[in-house]
Structure 1
Amino acid sequence: MRIVIVSRIFTPEPAAASFLLRATAEAFRDAGHEVEVLTSTPPPAASGADPRGIRVRRARVKRDRQGYVRGYLSYLSFDIPVLFRLLFSRRADLYLVEPPPTTGAVVRAVSLLRRTPYVYDAADLWADAAGVVTSSPLVLGALRAVERFAMRGTAHAFAISEGLIDRMRQIGIDVPATAVGFGTDTASFRYAPQDPPTAPLFVYPGSYSEWHGADVFLEAFAGVREAHPDARLLFIGNGSEQPRMRARIAELGLTGVEFRDPVPPEQLAEVLSSATASLASLKPGAGYDYAFTTKVYGSLVSGCPVIFAGAGPTGPFLRTESQHHPVGTAVEWDAAAARTAMLAAAEEPLATSRRVELAAWAAGRYSLSAVAERIVERSEEIVRG
């Protein structure tokens, strides 16, 4: 088959979607198919080679101040050119499209014109998330309509969880769907032996947008610094909340907090391998209570326990697994509870031998390659059908 993947984001730009799409592209290639990726030019800080045997075609897009393709103008800077790139390219047997919904809408239109089926990576529902940043019925209604149009035409949707599929059904998206789960790129994320930090080190990796509620850890860290004046908190990634969080740090008079740009997964894994714990959050009532914070996988395969604060299935996952493995802990989205968990981690950091065991166990269970293979198998069935 000839497969065309359409996504505003792809490796080497570090993001959960990038890792999954690369793994899926490689799985299609390994199954003997021709693969082409239509994506954007990565930001200057991102470096790395394209996957072997896969044609990656890039175009410049508008990025925000953090270097991320985020916001409607940024999306349109990718979507409008990709419409013509698809219309005037060789015909494909199948398109695989990654959100935002505007990109999905473009691919559906091309799919109808060229009589080519497409599948949709339903990583999340954008109209739900938009409710956190706006209450405008016009904006939310328009986004919901575009999202329904984008997804209702798909031959199949691949969701991260059954909870997301249930939510799709609630809002009228009744298309064939499979919960394929998620994982991480275990070739990039892995335990890298490091000298233990001389002071507690907490790392919040990845994005921190409005619905993440990462600011809960700022309040918590203020209490940690009272007990451990040399403790550090790193945010490695990007997010729309950074200006507000910087303002809150100033209000608290907080020191020891640092914001760093996204780094390649190999570099992030090195930092996680020595961190006291990684941090993850999901703000309750923000429209994403069904979502799983996939960044925990990258931490676990790097041998780093996780402290999670918030709603959704991540908390139950960590509580269940912690009965057998030192995966970390989950608390309510509450600064006092997060502070207690961070102090406990600082008092009893995970020993090197246990980090090695944790990384090996997680790598055996949460590799993206298994998820990608499920997507390829189902896609092959769709095209044959």
Structure 2
Amino acid sequence: MTAPVRVVIASRLFPPEVSAGAFRLGALARVLAEQGDDVVVLTTTPPAHAPVTPDAPGVDVRRWPVLRDSGGNVRGYVQYMSFDIPLLARLIGTRFDVAVAESPPTTGLVAAIIAAIKRRPLVYYAADVWTDGVISMGAPGIVVSVMRWMERAVLRRARSIISVSDEVTERLVLLGAAADRIVTVGNGIDTEIFSPDVEPASNDEYFVYTGTMSEWQQPDIFIRAFAQIAKENPGVRLRFFGQGAVEAQLKQVAEELAPGRVEFGGVVSPAESTSWIRGAAAALVSIVPGIGYDFAKPTKTYAAAATGTPVLFAGPAAGADLVRTGELGLAVDFTPEAVADAMRQLLSEAHDGTTALMRPRRAAWAQQNVSLRAVAERVARAVTQAAAARERKLETSSRRSSSGTERPTQ
């Protein structure tokens, strides 16, 4: 029987925070603990609005207070440093056989430095390409250069790199990652929580947007489209759940274009989010084309599919192809006019029974293709293999050393 692997996960995001990153790492920690490994998570004290949920059994979660922005996010260079600088000491004081770190690259670099000092492998979870995001935000050239250097340094030093899609893998290789160190595991959603069997949160007619509201999503496109159909559909509403950097802007646009018809419900638990998605005419998902995130396949798409609710996706080819090939809903150009036409069609499908007919098929697709547990199991194998590779290397080195000392003297 092999000894348990001591795994440390370093991330600013972890349940009960509501984000794709938190869900990914929470699932990974659970799977590692269930297979008998010793799991320590070094993360942050959650914001006040986070839902109250217990930590997974067998997972030692150690939290640290950090600076957050006005929306409660650890987002921004100062906020990142408030986590990463203490992380140096926290990792030094933690025994581990293998370290797992997720973006930003500042966190990855801290983990890489301590892993190198302790001669332990690092597994880097590359859910996206951070440099692309910095460029899309219009950051100064010096910031882009520093971030690119840091991301490349982490990729070079990682024993294993976890990628969430073929598109991300291609970008990582272009940044200098060794292709034979990348494990493409896909992305997923918790299909035990996101299910077609949950009770809808409301019997009203509405479209729903859940999760992060950011510059690279620009979800105001849905408000602008909704304003075009609002008069012809007086009973339909638009609901937003979550938070993000552009939330205040969205509220302003809603007040100007569709006063009283757009609601903002704040951050809700995954279970509550599921209920709202389940009752919607469609779940809204967007990616702004041409700013560096064209490869993204948002987990919002998976969450909607798992409940059987159709997706209305506005954005570039990667996300659109996912929706079309899986018959998960409608994918359209990133324009208010195209989105408005899709909203009309999806309301019609809700009325004529098409949505109800397709619900079991869409939920089955999610079960077969994007189970978060299956993804976490693939990542867990990569983590334990990284630790095992180090043990084999040490054993080989020990045998060579022993053989050298036993040579007869002349």
Query: Aligned ranges for residues 127-142 of structure 1 at < 5 Å?
Result: 127-142=131-146
Give the CA deviation at 1:248.
2.5
Of 237, 261, 274, the residue aligned with 2:242 is 237
- Tell me the distance in 2 between the aligned counterparts of 1:2 and 1:193: 37
Look up the SS of the partner of 1:131 in the other structure. helix
- Tell me the distance in 2 between the aligned counterparts of 1:186 and 1:57: 27
Query: Aligned ranges for residues 4-15 of structure 1 at < 5 Å?
Result: 4-15=8-19
Who is 1:115 aligned against? 119
Q: Which moved more, 1:358-367 or 1:231-240?
A: 358-367
Contact in 2 for aligned 1:200/1:230 (Cα 8 Å): yes
Q: Which amino acid aligns with 1:105?
A: L
Q: Which moved more, 1:167-176 or 1:256-265?
A: 167-176
1:223 paired with 2:223, answer no
Who is 1:45 aligned against? 49
Who is 1:257 aligned against? 262
Look up the SS of the partner of 2:224 in the other structure. helix
1:20 paired with 2:21, answer no
Give the CA deviation at 1:106.
0.5
Contact in 2 for aligned 1:192/1:270 (Cα 8 Å): no
Q: Counting helix residues as a fraction of each chain, which structure ranks higher?
A: 2
Q: Would the alpha carbon gap of residues 312 and 56 (structure 1) be closer, same or farther in structure 2, given more than 3 Å must change?
A: farther
Contact in 1 for aligned 2:123/2:386 (Cα 8 Å): no
Unpaired segments ≥5 residues, structure 2:
390-410
- 1:95-125 Cα shifts (integer Å, max 9, x gaps): 0101111101110111111111110110001
Contact in 2 for aligned 1:222/1:254 (Cα 8 Å): no
Q: Would the alpha carbon gap of residues 77 and 353 (structure 1) be closer, same or farther in structure 2, given more than 3 Å must change?
A: same
Who is 1:288 aligned against? 293
1:81 paired with 2:86, answer yes
Query: Aligned ranges for residues 156-171 of structure 1 at < 5 Å?
Result: 156-171=160-175
Look up the SS of the partner of 1:313 in the other structure. helix
Compare CA radii of gyration and give the structure with the larger one: 2
Contact in 2 for aligned 1:230/1:256 (Cα 8 Å): no
1:366 paired with 2:367, answer no
Identity %: 37
Q: Would the alpha carbon gap of residues 179 and 236 (structure 1) be closer, same or farther in structure 2, given more than 3 Å must change?
A: same
* Number of residue pairs the alignment of both structures matches: 380
Contact in 1 for aligned 2:6/2:37 (Cα 8 Å): yes
Contact in 2 for aligned 1:273/1:304 (Cα 8 Å): yes
CA RMSD of aligned residues (A): 1.7
Unpaired segments ≥5 residues, structure 1:
none
Who is 1:342 aligned against? 343
Of 54, 72, 77, the residue aligned with 1:67 is 72
Look up the SS of the partner of 1:227 in the other structure. coil
Look up the SS of the partner of 2:231 in the other structure. helix
Look up the SS of the partner of 2:131 in the other structure. helix
- Tell me the distance in 2 between the aligned counterparts of 1:196 and 1:40: 31
Give the CA deviation at 1:353.
5.7
1:95 paired with 2:99, answer yes
Give the CA deviation at 1:75.
0.8
- 1:326-346 Cα shifts (integer Å, max 9, x gaps): x21111111111111111111
- Tell me the distance in 2 between the aligned counterparts of 1:230 and 1:181: 39
Q: Which moved more, 1:258-267 or 1:328-337?
A: 258-267
- Tell me the distance in 2 between the aligned counterparts of 1:250 and 1:45: 24
Q: Would the alpha carbon gap of residues 195 and 128 (structure 1) be closer, same or farther in structure 2, given more than 3 Å must change?
A: closer
- 1:16-37 Cα shifts (integer Å, max 9, x gaps): 1111111111111122211111
Give the CA deviation at 1:250.
3.5
Q: Which amino acid aligns with 2:94?
A: S
Query: Aligned ranges for residues 326-341 of structure 1 at < 5 Å?
Result: 327-341=328-342
